Structure 1
Amino acid sequence: MPWNTAALRLCCILSTLLWSSGNAIDCELRQTCSDCITIDLTCGWCADEGVRLDSRCRLNGMHTDCGNVFAPASEIVVPQEPPPATAISPETYNVSLRNTDTLSLPIDVTTVRNIPLDLYILFDVSQSMDEEISAIQGASAEIIARLQNITDDVQVGVGSYVDKATLPFSRRNLTQESGCIKPGGPCYNFRHYGRMTNSREELSERFSRIETGSNIDAPEAGLDAMAQAVICNESVGWRDSAVKMILTFTDDAFKFSGEGRQGGILTPFETVCGLTNSTETNSYTMYSGLRNDYTSPGQLLSFLESSNIIPVFVSVTSSAQAQGFYNVSQTHQELARLYNMRLSGRASFASVNTTGTNETGIANSILTIIDQQVLFILSQTGLSPERINGISFSVKAECPARAIELNEGTNMESCSNVSVGDTTRFTLNVKLLDCEVFGTETREVAVSVFPLGRVVIEITPICSCLCDDYEVNSPRCSFNGNFSCGECTCKEGYCGLQCQFNVSVRTGCPDGLGGNICSGERGACLGTCECVCEMNLTAIVDNPKLLRVGVSTRLAKRAHLVVLSPWLAERAHLVWW
């Protein structure tokens, strides 16, 4: 038979076998136990000693001739001691997770009463917001009173902002700390009016200190103000044990990083609290923002996420805005939508129209927005797994009756409108993506439970075999190699199942696979102790029996063939013509 015809027929055989047996090839190409069990869940390692196998790594179920197969399974362990009655059950998991495998962990979350709440209210106090500021100052005592109908454990803080007090943003009078040449009020970037309080009187007094400010161009320093309110943890008084929210009321867009260059401000925004005491009065602390550029939406998102603070953007359509200012609802709505992708759907947007409304109506509209947004957030429940390289999480939610499913169909489902006492069943799916990226050591992963609490998952990756530890110069390897996982790894110069052959002694080399495929000349003994011999390719193709015998790795390489396992070779005659 011509050489090209023989080669073509052999290629057809091999391609058919490989097409039908991809997983088997994936398994059988693995040379170590650890590689075997991490390449695919369908692979297992034969750890029998003293046997010659074409491949120790095979598909599970194909180890018919092996008595000691290592194919570990992932495992979930819940602490045996019953946990105390809590809103979250269970609070801990221990899992052993095999590479590429997924485990599903059920977690029950019960909504409780009187969830601690920290609320920071931030107002744009530019001239166009004058009516809204005046209205809320007169009704500020009601804020805490109404919130206490939702939760007893509440504290509120307040801040205000306009813009950086320099051209072209504001026309500042340099002889005064907060004076502006343009009439209408002080120009300043951000003011903070004291640590959070649960006193109606204190909050009302702080609102009375707010002054309507002045600036020139339309966009304001809203992101700067939010960033300072988040970063200045000590000054604001955020509690770790509370649900933390920041509500921003504005009728205009926001400036962001890069725009400070218009005022000659080149230094990027710094992640430090910039509040300083006022030199004119002790009624507030302030952030001028004259040394640093505006923050960016991405930076603010990072601050919110790391501090676990929920932003609510409230767009105000006012009478002043109707006289010439443009509507900015879409800007803040889009920002909230983008933030939701990282904040598990809890960033929120609301709008209020105060056009043609008297002061009482404006105050009621603002108070209603505050109530609605707090209720919306506190009635939610969901899971937020820690981001860990090499592992992925997804969350499915079974919401109680009357509750609303959020993010349905995504990999992070949650529920809203959950009543006090209702229990939500979550299924947390954990998948080990990559042993090398995740690491081989046991790690604790935190899963935040909204609104309060967390579940701790201790993950032990199954990335290696118990038999991987080498027995150096093992007697099972004739003291000429190291033993692990059922086989010997011979020192240089030795070969054989027990490393019993010295390759320099040709007489110690056993017979090859037979005269049909060898020229009759014995060669040096190689790692699998097969003889080196020249192969007659045409003879192999013409004789399917030789394929059923199986071509060893070393011989196949000499013949420029792929390795055929006994299992594949046994099926070669099925496609032979």
Structure 2
Amino acid sequence: MISVILIFLLKFYMFSCGSNCRNLVTCGSCIGYAYETCVWCPAEDHKGYRCQSINFHKENKSWCNEHIYNPGFKSNILQNDTFNSGENGGKVVQYMPQKMEILVRPGTPVTFKMSYKPAQDYPLDVYYLMDYSYTMHNHKKQLETQGLEIYSELTKLTNNVQLGIGSFVEKPALPFAGPYSNAYSFENHLSLTKNMTLFKNVLTGNLTGSNYDDPEAGLDALMQAMVCQKQIGWRESARRIIVLTTDSTYHSAGDGKFVGAVKPNDMKCHLEDNKYTMSLVLDYPSVSQINKVATEHNFKIIFAAIPDVKIIYEGLAKKIRGAKYVELKEASNLITMIKNEYLELIRSIDINPEVPPHIELLLEPDCRVSGNCIVKHNESININATLKVKSCHESKTPSTVKLGPVALNEKLVISVISDCECDCERNILKTAFNSTKCSRNGTYQCGICKCNENRYGDDCRCEGTSTISVDLDKCKMNSSDTNYCSGRGTCSCGKCLLCYKGFSGDYCQYDDTACPSPGGKLCADRGVCRYGKCECDSKSTGVGCECPIDNNSCFAPHSKEICSGNGKCECGECICLPMESSNRTCSGRFCDSCDEFAEKRCLELENYAECNYLYNKIYCDESYNQTSLTEVKIVTKLDNTLPDHQMAKWCKKQFGNGTALVFKYLYPLSSPNILHVIIQEKLEQPPEVNLFIAIGVPFGVLILIGLLTIIIWKILVDIHDAREYKNFAEKSAAAGFTVPGIVNPVYRAPTVNINNPTFNRQSQ
């Protein structure tokens, strides 16, 4: 019985697999179907469906008595220049191949390999952007020394180094600077050069500027130093580093209105005679604008500032991709940091792909994530890529895919041609036109007829566009049916050619609106209802396409374990299982609602909570790759007065100074899929020692012990004396002595009385 059921299920599976493809009536639409691999039967005498799935074909070899049409892919490397460090004046090549051409049908993965090897003595440009305000006199000597040491150390890494110098003070207008303060936003003193004598002379020049307020025009100067590439002399293929040295904070967007510079910064070059001419017209650039230009033009920025403004520039460096902070002092590690930045640029690779929406790309290792692809010294790294076209593109022109390192101008350009037309459709013989196989009223191609205008039918013998056939019985699924095409379509030439909207099948017998509708949506809006069943897209499965294929929805925010490691993922939801430690079962959307798991969850969330406490949610979500599944709120004090807070779990992150960050996390009843993190605004302080209690309590306890000791001793002595007296009285009575109370038996009354003359009483 079981074997019969299995055979039935296998046949049903084969039938359903074929049905995804069999609705495709042309060869081009058959091979262009991306959800599964379909094959086409071009045999002339074939009866039935010509398009079937590859699985159906494997199980039914007799389905097509001719070679099926099942194109794969063709890839051709058009340019593959080998690695070259520029010897003998040749072109520098660090990334290969450079050009490819791929012909592929939708749904078919294409694999290829890329390689990267950093060239020796690759050009490096370092621009020294200095604060020339009066307060920098104290640091002038060390800047000169470090500037010369930077060149000396970098030439040990590469013999292709250029250095340049620029300076800044402040926008030259009140209230930032006075009329005689010689203030300016940016001046280029020396464009990038290899002439170290000239560099030394400019570096040892005098500081000439001054201003009134503490913040300075560092961002104005930084923007001009990046966008004025021709004037500064940035080489197109060089690694680029800017060292900004200062002893003060910076002005940002919005501050310019105080001097009348109200126009937003346009991120364009405005240098004349090496001086910035729009400082009183354009506002200071925003931090996001600085980040945008630095990212697009591959700049590495190092902020060298004094310890007093360390927090300011550390925060700024976190908001600019690749930026770093180093402390400006005599024993500064600025030179070491610049060397490390250069080594990091040549020893790691970040891929920035440009891929059209209808194409999917996978990389192994995934060099789109910074730090994933490290290159060993004098070695190359291979990157395996998998490309897949998800659907036929509307335009018949080839699509372009570009892959290349972020910090280099070298790219791999791939021309991708979607194979959505069969060879027999492209190359039609003259004899195929008005073929006898098509009743001389159509073109014979790929085993079928493409009828001329006003003709239809398998062999184009039917005239018109919608004529009722005389052979209606062929359009009935059962002989007992009273309606042809199930009453839902048009019967023509013995076939149901046109089913009404919402119906499908050979006899229009399937209602394409009657498929399962999880959540009230047909096929959960993740597939198409055909032939009475849901045909799900590539990311969904289930009878009603209600289940995602991946397990992404079973990962709690900030967790790297499915269902927090306490359950299994089924149909996109967590099924909680007993824990090995306590045999108890956690509850909740992600199986993390239990006291035993709270400590682990707190450890997963504490860095994210600290980030939100110090910065903001947008920055932290980007840093931790978070989505809208997390809500963060900072409150004055944590308590249980808010709704649902009785279910919250308390967490605490201890810092080295004894303080602690206190926060709670919960999944509210109103939004159980969203993690809420509530952070207390004030850090929890370490407990203070009360000297009075610390000293008084031990001293008081000591006194109390002493008093109790004396009292107990007195009671014991009295008891002992009473026993001794009783024993004495009993022995005296046994010896014949009378013991009258407390009178001594040997006592004798006096015989002579002597009166005291000073006592005014008579003796009696």
Q: Is the 8 A contact 2:105 2:419 kept in 1?
A: yes
Q: Mind listing any 5+ residue stretches in structure 2 that lack a counterpart? A: 1-9, 85-92, 516-528, 536-764
Alignment partner of 1:171 is 2:177: yes
Who is 1:349 aligned against? 324
Shift of 1:328: 1.2
Match of 2:110 among 103, 109, 115: 103
User: What are the residue-to-residue correspondences of 1:83-232 with 2, within 5 Å?
Assistant: 83=82, 87-168=94-175, 170-173=176-179, 179-180=180-181, 186-209=182-205, 211=207, 213-232=209-228
Secondary structure of residue in 1 paired with 2:191: coil
Match of 1:461 among 413, 417, 420: 417
Q: Is the 8 A contact 2:121 2:160 kept in 1?
A: yes
Shift of 1:231: 1.4
- Whole-angstrom distance in 2 between the partners of 1:93 and 1:374: 31
| AA at the equivalent of 2:283 | D
| AA at the equivalent of 2:178 | R
- Whole-angstrom distance in 1 between the partners of 2:236 and 2:185: 27
TM-score, normalised with respect to structure 2: 0.55
Q: Mind listing any 5+ residue stretches in structure 1 that lack a counterpart? A: 1-15, 174-178, 181-185, 278-283, 340-346, 355-360, 398-406, 535-549, 569-577
| AA at the equivalent of 1:519 | T
Alignment partner of 1:312 is 2:301: yes
Q: Is the 8 A contact 1:47 1:487 kept in 2?
A: no
- Whole-angstrom distance in 2 between the partners of 1:133 and 1:391: 55
Who is 1:497 aligned against? 458
- Whole-angstrom distance in 2 between the partners of 1:377 and 1:244: 10
The change in CA–CA distance for 1:213 and 1:106 in structure 2 (over 3 A counts) is same
Who is 1:488 aligned against? 449
Who is 2:270 aligned against? 274
Shift of 1:496: 1.9
Q: Deviations over 1:430-454 (max 9, x none)?
A: 34345437x5423554433476563
- Whole-angstrom distance in 2 between the partners of 1:478 and 1:201: 90
Q: Is the 8 A contact 1:107 1:426 kept in 2?
A: yes
Q: How many residues align?
A: 486
Who is 1:46 aligned against? 40
Secondary structure of residue in 1 paired with 2:216: coil
Shift of 1:201: 0.9
The change in CA–CA distance for 1:563 and 1:394 in structure 2 (over 3 A counts) is closer
Shift of 1:126: 4.2
| AA at the equivalent of 2:290 | L
- Whole-angstrom distance in 1 between the partners of 2:115 and 2:206: 45
Who is 2:353 aligned against? 385
Give the number of the structure with larger relative contact order, counting CA–CA contacts within 8 Å between residues 6 or more apart: 1
Secondary structure of residue in 2 paired with 1:136: helix
Secondary structure of residue in 2 paired with 1:163: coil
RMSD of the TM alignment (CA)? 4.3
Who is 1:547 aligned against? none
Who is 1:542 aligned against? none
Larger Rg belongs to: 2
Who is 2:581 aligned against? none
Who is 1:396 aligned against? 364
User: What are the residue-to-residue correspondences of 1:241-320 with 2, within 5 Å?
Assistant: 241-277=237-273, 284-307=274-297, 309-318=298-307
- Whole-angstrom distance in 2 between the partners of 1:172 and 1:54: 91
Who is 1:71 aligned against? 70
Secondary structure of residue in 2 paired with 1:158: strand
- Whole-angstrom distance in 2 between the partners of 1:208 and 1:533: 87
Q: Is the 8 A contact 1:44 1:69 kept in 2?
A: no
Shift of 1:555: 5.7
Match of 2:236 among 231, 237, 240: 240
User: What are the residue-to-residue correspondences of 1:421-460 with 2, within 5 Å?
Assistant: 421-436=378-393, 439-449=395-405, 454-460=410-416
Who is 1:376 aligned against? 344
Q: Deviations over 1:183-220 (max 9, x none)?
A: xxx32111111321111111112223462643444443
Secondary structure of residue in 2 paired with 1:552: coil
Secondary structure of residue in 1 paired with 2:385: strand
- Whole-angstrom distance in 2 between the partners of 1:163 and 1:236: 20
Secondary structure of residue in 2 paired with 1:149: coil
| AA at the equivalent of 1:99 | P
The change in CA–CA distance for 1:505 and 1:18 in structure 2 (over 3 A counts) is closer
The change in CA–CA distance for 1:430 and 1:492 in structure 2 (over 3 A counts) is closer
The change in CA–CA distance for 1:23 and 1:226 in structure 2 (over 3 A counts) is farther
TM-score, normalised with respect to structure 1: 0.70
Secondary structure of residue in 1 paired with 2:301: strand
- Whole-angstrom distance in 2 between the partners of 1:558 and 1:272: 57
Secondary structure of residue in 2 paired with 1:384: coil
Who is 1:552 aligned against? 506
| AA at the equivalent of 2:34 | D
Q: Deviations over 1:452-495 (max 9, x none)?
A: 56353433232411244596964243343455544334456533
Who is 2:318 aligned against? 334
Q: Which moved more, 1:56-65 or 1:28-37?
A: 28-37
The change in CA–CA distance for 1:90 and 1:473 in structure 2 (over 3 A counts) is closer
The change in CA–CA distance for 1:395 and 1:226 in structure 2 (over 3 A counts) is farther
The change in CA–CA distance for 1:139 and 1:470 in structure 2 (over 3 A counts) is closer
Q: Which moved more, 1:443-452 or 1:518-527?
A: 518-527
Shift of 1:148: 0.9
Secondary structure of residue in 2 paired with 1:120: strand
Secondary structure of residue in 2 paired with 1:61: helix
Shift of 1:270: 2.2
Shift of 1:365: 4.0
| AA at the equivalent of 1:163 | E
Secondary structure of residue in 1 paired with 2:192: coil
The change in CA–CA distance for 1:502 and 1:209 in structure 2 (over 3 A counts) is same
Secondary structure of residue in 2 paired with 1:189: coil
- Whole-angstrom distance in 2 between the partners of 1:74 and 1:485: 20
The change in CA–CA distance for 1:383 and 1:161 in structure 2 (over 3 A counts) is same
- Whole-angstrom distance in 2 between the partners of 1:138 and 1:83: 41
Who is 2:482 aligned against? 519
Shift of 1:326: 6.8
